[in-house]
Amino acid sequence: MGRKIADGTFFTLLGPSGCGKTTLLRIVAGFVSPTSGQVTFGKDDMTFVPPHRRGVGMVFQDYALFPDKTVFDNVAYGLRARHVAAKTIRSKVPEYLERVGLDGFADRLPSEMSGGQRQRVALARALVIEPRVLLMDEPLSNLDASLRVQMRDVIRTLQQETRTTTIFVTHDQEEALAMSDEIAVMKNGRIVQCGAPEEVYRSPETAYVSSFVGAANLLLSRTSWRRR
């Protein structure tokens, strides 16, 4: 059975390393071909559409900025690749830099910026193309604890402002619970439970979900045990 993500939803794939989160994200992006099933955006079948024609924005764990390009040129890259008019680029890039709190940083190189600032550049570059779907692969894992909290607020606020359908990958349950409209908990390449954060937290369907999402006390019992 397929999984449908509503337009404008912040949808998180949550699970430990090796459970298939990033592979699933790469299938949505078009970097990996599925062995079965379909990837659709609305009514459009994207299963065999190349990545550059899917209209997705991608934020990578390591930011993937061009070290020899200024902040402006990094953010403008996707627009230029789509042959957007120079006049439009000159207006849109500053707009999105301001949205991520980097007004006045356009002429800097990535090497002159902090990790949090580079992450904001990567976010602006992904959003400026106004993607149909925003994909984020563990984007906060390289930041220290205080910056992680700050950046998750920035990401969530921007997502709500732009109403961009977003798929976010993390192994951090706190991030998932704080940011998401829906959470899909993964194990061994499969989604084992999906729902609103409070639902997944308060009503886990398996011991695995219970142990992974929040602190839990697990009591083993025999099925034949009867309450006296």
Confidence of residue 213 (pLDDT cuts 50, 70, 90): confident
CATH number of 10-183: 3.40.50.300
Residues 159 and 11: their CA atoms lie apart, in Å, by 11
Residues 125 and 120: their CA atoms lie apart, in Å, by 9
Q: Worst-scoring range by mean pLDDT, 71-75, 193-197, 222-226?
A: 222-226
Q: Tell me the CA end-to-end span of the chain in Å, nearest whole number.
A: 41
Tokens representing residue 194 in the block:
């999906």
Average pLDDT on 175-190 reads 95
pLDDT in tens, 34-72: 999 999 999 999 999 999 999 999 998 888 999 999 999
pLDDT in tens, 124-174: 999 999 999 999 999 998 888 888 899 999 999 999 999 999 999 999 999
Task: State how far Cα 53 lies from the chain centre.
Answer: 19
Give yes or no for residue 219 having a pLDDT over 60: no
Spans of all domains in the chain? 10-183
